Amino acid sequence: MKRFYKFSSCTYLILLAVTFCTGVFILTKNLEAQIYDAKQDSIGIPFSVMFAIWLTLTLNHLMQILLLRKSRTRFSASLIRKIPAYLLATVSLVILVGSIVYWSIPNHALIAIFYVASAITFIAFQASTFAQSK
């Protein structure tokens, strides 16, 4: 089970990076194909949103791993450390679902598909985390 825990953790981080890169690529290609109005000043907002989502999900994941690792070494503080870790997981899942919904328009469907793959990997990681904590 520990091998699957590490595999799903690494796969999740890799999928987040691939999703971010794919999103930037698709947004750039759509901009070059003039799908967006080039006169808009707000074209930087989707790029900023992609970066903020990637950074938030990555930091939440790393903080959750750190909190869960500390909770295994100290039994007395395990519950105090597990509650914030699972709150971080809940926030991450809400962000992933929101990203899937936000990017599920036809010109950005591939971004939504990558977020679905990231969400599935995230859920598998959380299941292995929960199984290890028992």
Q: Using one digit for the tens of pLDDT, what is the confidence trace for 71-97?
A: 666 565 677 778 888 899 999 999 999
Residue 2 pLDDT level (bands cut at 50, 70, 90) = confident
Residue 67 pLDDT exceeds 60: yes
DSSP sequence for 101-112: HHT-SGGGHHHH
Residues 83 and 99 sit within 8 Å (Cβ to Cβ): no
Long-range CB contacts (< 8 A, 24+ apart) of 86-93? Answer: 88/60, 88/63, 88/64, 89/60, 89/64, 89/126, 89/129, 91/60, 92/56, 92/57, 92/60, 92/61, 92/64, 92/122, 93/119, 93/122, 93/123, 93/126
The CA dihedral of 60, 95, 117, 107, to the nearest 10 degrees, is: -140
Give the other-Cβ count within 10 Å of 84's Cβ.
14
Indicate the pTM of the whole model.
0.86
Output the six-digit token pair for 99. Answer: 């990203």
Please give the average per-residue pLDDT across 12-21, as a whole number. 96
**Distance from C-alpha of 54 to C-alpha of 126, rounded to nearest angstrom:** 18
